[in-house]
């Protein structure tokens, strides 16, 4: 039974090392991407409608990801020749060229990432892994097969993490369009009574534990 256990990297874990075949050749992940943020997203199968809309959606965001220094990588358990043919079909029929690599994952790779779930057969679930330049898993999203992902949210989440890392702040819901504080960012709560007493003299806020500022 232990061999059937689903493994899944948790937030803060090192992304598991793997050598994979892709539409751009052999890649070592995360080794080849060291020093760069990357988003790896899996899909259930090539030549399926929802996945096709997702691949076009991610491709349409490539310029935004490039601007943030983020690499995109697709993945499913289909073989490379299937990925190549599907990418050709997307270009021919939809006039969209897929420029990011697509990984041909075997069961071992898929199991390392918890992408093969019981009751879903051999198809991989819709997983999204956001990995930072140190190879640490920073965000994991899982969607069921019948629901396509929101690419704007993936872009927003990566941008928010980068801003948080660079400035030592927290990001409110729906940032940069939060209902309470707009595009402002949240100051980490005071850790001592002395800091708490002067926090509202230093920052705007609702209370000492909820202060915010402009970037």
Coil, strand or helix: which one is 112?
helix
Annotated catalytic residue, options 29, 39, 40, 51 = 51
| Radius of gyration, CA atoms only, the chain | 20
Q: Is 51 a catalytic residue?
A: yes
In 3D space, the residue among 54, 57, 38 whose CA is nearest the CA of residue 130 turns out to be 38
Report how far residue 201's alpha carbon sits from residue 213's, in angstroms, rounded to the nearest whole number.
13
CB-CB neighbours of 63 under 10 Å:
8
CB-CB neighbours of 174 under 10 Å:
12
Catalytic residues: 51
């Amino acid at each position: 039974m232990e061999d059937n256990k689903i493994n899944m990297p948790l937030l803060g874990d090192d992304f598991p090392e793997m050598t994979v075949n892709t539409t751009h050749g052999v890649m070592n992940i995360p080794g080849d991407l060291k020093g760069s943020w990357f988003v790896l997203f899996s899909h259930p199968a090539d030549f399926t409608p929802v996945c096709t809309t997702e691949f076009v959606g991610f491709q349409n965001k490539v310029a935004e990801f490039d601007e943030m220094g983020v690499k995109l990588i697709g993945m499913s358990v289909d073989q490379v020749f299937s990925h190549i043919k599907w990418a050709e079909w997307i270009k021919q029929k939809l006039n969209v060229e897929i420029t990011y690599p697509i990984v041909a994952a075997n069961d071992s790779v898929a199991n390392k990432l918890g992408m093969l779930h019981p009751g879903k057969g051999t198809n991989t679930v819709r997983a999204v892994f956001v990995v930072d330049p140190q190879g640490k898993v920073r965000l994991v999203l899982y969607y069921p097969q019948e629901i396509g992902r929101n690419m704007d949210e993936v872009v927003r989440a990566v941008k928010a993490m980068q801003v948080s890392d660079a400035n030592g702040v927290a990001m409110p819901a729906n940032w940069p369009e939060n209902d309470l504080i707009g595009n402002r960012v949240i100051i980490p709560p005071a850790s001592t009574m002395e800091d708490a007493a002067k926090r509202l003299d230093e920052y705007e806020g609702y209370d000492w534990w909820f202060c915010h500022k402009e970037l």
